[in-house]
Structure 1
Amino acid sequence: MPANPIFFAETKLPHQKNYGGALFPAVLSPTAAVEHSRNRPSVLTAAVKDQKPWLDSLLHRHGAILFRGFDSVSTASDFNDVVEAFGYEELPYVGGAAPRTNVVGRVFTANESPPDQKIPFHHEMAQVPNYPSKLFFFCEVEPANGGETPIVLSHIIYDKMTEKYPDFVDKLHKHGLIYTRVLGEEDDPSSPIGRGWKSTFLTKDKTLAEERAAELNMKLEWTEDGAKTIMGPIPAIKNDETRKRKIWFNSMVAAYTGWEDKRNDPKKAVTFGDGNVLPDNIMYDCLKILEDESVAIPWRKGDVLLIDNLAVLHSRKPFTPPRRILASLCK
């Protein structure tokens, strides 16, 4: 289905990669006609509503879409309107690790961990069974320096890892992964996985927290000053049914190289599903492959990035403040 030329122009950036003729990510900017309508606060919202089937097909082909140059999107509320225009159902952030704050409507801050910390590649909430299918990010305040959100196609990583480490991938197929995280009672903003148990389960009631953990098939053990969660065994590799390919759907490298704070040892945060430790050399080589295949487009104020969470892993580079990236998760 062709795009309506009234709204969107497909543009190219030097950062994009070409996979089988499809640029990653797709980049859409306003047409000349839309440029003349910059006063309309809802121009991107209207364009999304008009072109929703085409945008869905574009996302399916490319895995991610960057909307750039739509000046009508400048606030968290504007961003919330764009998210609503897509019509995807909201996903409550239950079981996730990142410290976040609700801003307005369906909009939250992205991971609030300190700016000097890198957040490694992961599929959003891949460590729990109820994960989002779509992610939105919005640049409200452009970073002073750094702070990109690199993205990478998951099936490319699966193919490269299978080619280089077939025995390791076989073990992942056979055993899956176990994720272990130690949580405090309250959020710890100094940690990239600092979400406390109250925020993780959206309750102050321990009994209700236990019920919500059980709904996720997650073991919850109370400690003196918090809780320990044990998730798994859970698959590390999934089939992307709509695209007929296997995907590297996990938070393995993120946990192994980044789940570190005063409570957590990253080497113990993730293991094979049979409890055996993961090979250190393969973990760091996988990280290198992820970085080599990734695309990191510097943020500009007003950017909206839509990611298919079944196709794409994402991360965050360290940055010099100010920087404010907002997010929204969809079923």
Structure 2
Amino acid sequence: MTTAIFPAADTARTPLLELTSADTGTEATPEGLLSYLSDTENVDRLLLAHKALVFRGFGLTADTVDRALDLILRNRLAYVHGNSPRTKVGDNLYTSTEYPQQFTISMHNELSYAESWPTRLAFFCQQAAETGGATPVVDGEAWLAALDPEVREAFAPGVRYTQNLHDGMGLGKSWQDTFETHDRTVVEEYLRGTGADWDWRPDGGLRVSLLRPATVRHPVTGAEVWFNQADQWHPASLGDEAAGALAQLLPPEELPQYVTFADGSPIPDAHVLQVRDRGLETAVDVDWNTGDLLLIDNVSVGHGRRPFTGARRILVAMTD
């Protein structure tokens, strides 16, 4: 096998490297891809340099993707404390966020609101959409630089996330689905290690509050990146009509998820809309073909989803 080494990425360029069998020097088969991925040190170097890698044309299927994931995600994690609706379909393998296909999912780093997060994610396209459905990726340094100085300054002290998780019936996710358990003791043991404040509600639900930074530094490169989900947790991201309807039902602090500045003061709508829009504007799209595999550095790169038509099935796994 010929090992392909590529030059370090320029952060001003697209945070994405596409690889085909011609680039890897292997056959255009699942076995060819597996032989390339088995050189894990080379894959690690490429991912650090380019931040996102997409492997195309190797004919991966649902029956062969697990072997590829085992090579690039050496300790697959459960989606514990995740806030988006998903279905578990295998060994810590999940569907991508099950959100109505006509809507965009804005840019975010997976579990950036949690005390710990996966270092990398892999996405497998089991079935490409009829139209649309790209996964945009954004360089976290570029996203941070795209924000107005006053917005960056306002977020500098951090953000506070609040989750209101019901007991099986209500808006949003239940605490059972969020933590993949029905045992309160297991939930409490997990939360004790996160620095979160929490309390069980009289109706059986759970409220969790966690203070997190708005930016972090990459553990290897030291680059500062935008790393929070304030725009996704803020009512303004729902649009005027949906936000207004929810406001008639619940105060902000009782919504399934809510976010404020670190001191508890409200985040202006204009700030989160700028964050959302400039993340999407700065991103580049990964257009899917059935069988493609995308690997991203979850600290360097945020991801999202474009609207689509027809059936689409993207599977996701992650590692620490």
Q: Same fold (TM over 0.5)?
A: yes
Distance 1:120 1:226 in 2: 31
CA contact (8 A) 1:80 1:104 kept: no
Tell me the residue number matched to 1:196: 174
Structure 2: stretches of 5+ with no match in the other structure: none
**Would you say 1:74 and 2:61 are equivalent positions?**
yes
Distance 2:64 2:18 in 1: 20
Distance 1:143 1:205 in 2: 38
Q: 1:187 to 1:217 in 2, by over 3 A?
A: farther
* Residue of 287, 300, 323 corresponding to 2:289: 300
CA contact (8 A) 2:156 2:214 kept: yes
Tell me the residue number matched to 1:62: 50
CA contact (8 A) 1:182 1:263 kept: no
Distance 2:163 2:72 in 1: 34
Distance 2:287 2:251 in 1: 31
Kindly state the Cα deviation for residue 160 of structure 1 after the two structures are TM-superposed: 2.4
- The percentage of aligned residue pairs carrying the same residue is 27
**Would you say 1:53 and 2:45 are equivalent positions?**
no
* Residue of 26, 32, 51 corresponding to 1:34: 26
Tell me the residue number matched to 1:209: 187
Distance 1:263 1:85 in 2: 46
Which letter maps to 2:316?
A
CA contact (8 A) 2:163 2:207 kept: yes
Tell me the residue number matched to 1:170: 153
Q: 1:21 to 1:204 in 2, by over 3 A?
A: closer
Kindly state the Cα deviation for residue 21 of structure 1 after the two structures are TM-superposed: 6.8
Distance 2:169 2:298 in 1: 25
CA contact (8 A) 1:138 1:327 kept: yes
Structure 1: stretches of 5+ with no match in the other structure: 11-17
SS in 1 for 2:285: coil
Kindly state the Cα deviation for residue 173 of structure 1 after the two structures are TM-superposed: 2.2
CA contact (8 A) 2:3 2:42 kept: no
Q: What are the within-5 Å matches in structure 2 for residues 1-331 of structure 1?
A: 6=2, 19-20=10-11, 22-31=13-22, 34-35=26-27, 38=29, 41-49=30-38, 51-71=39-59, 73-75=60-62, 77-86=63-72, 88-161=74-147, 164-165=148-149, 167-174=150-157, 176-186=158-168, 194-223=172-201, 225-256=203-234, 257-258=237-238, 269-331=258-320
CA contact (8 A) 1:9 1:31 kept: no
Which is further off, 131-140 or 312-321? 312-321
CA contact (8 A) 1:52 1:86 kept: yes
Distance 1:221 1:317 in 2: 36
Q: 1:42 to 1:185 in 2, by over 3 A?
A: farther
SS in 1 for 2:70: helix
Which letter maps to 1:319?
F
Distance 1:187 1:137 in 2: 30
Distance 1:20 1:115 in 2: 31
Kindly state the Cα deviation for residue 25 of structure 1 after the two structures are TM-superposed: 0.6
Which letter maps to 1:60?
L
Distance 2:154 2:204 in 1: 33
The Cα offsets for residues 69-119 of structure 1, whole Å up to 9 and x where unpaired, read as: 111x111x3221101012522222211111222212232111122323332
Kindly state the Cα deviation for residue 26 of structure 1 after the two structures are TM-superposed: 0.5
Distance 1:235 1:272 in 2: 10
CA contact (8 A) 2:15 2:51 kept: yes
Distance 2:207 2:195 in 1: 10
The Cα offsets for residues 253-309 of structure 1, whole Å up to 9 and x where unpaired, read as: 222215977879579711101001112112212222111110112211011110100
SS in 1 for 2:33: helix
Distance 1:264 1:78 in 2: 48
Distance 2:216 2:177 in 1: 28
SS in 1 for 2:84: coil
CA contact (8 A) 2:110 2:118 kept: yes
What TM-score does the superposition give when structure 2 sets the normalisation length? 0.86
SS in 2 for 1:290: helix
Distance 2:72 2:144 in 1: 29
Tell me the residue number matched to 1:15: none
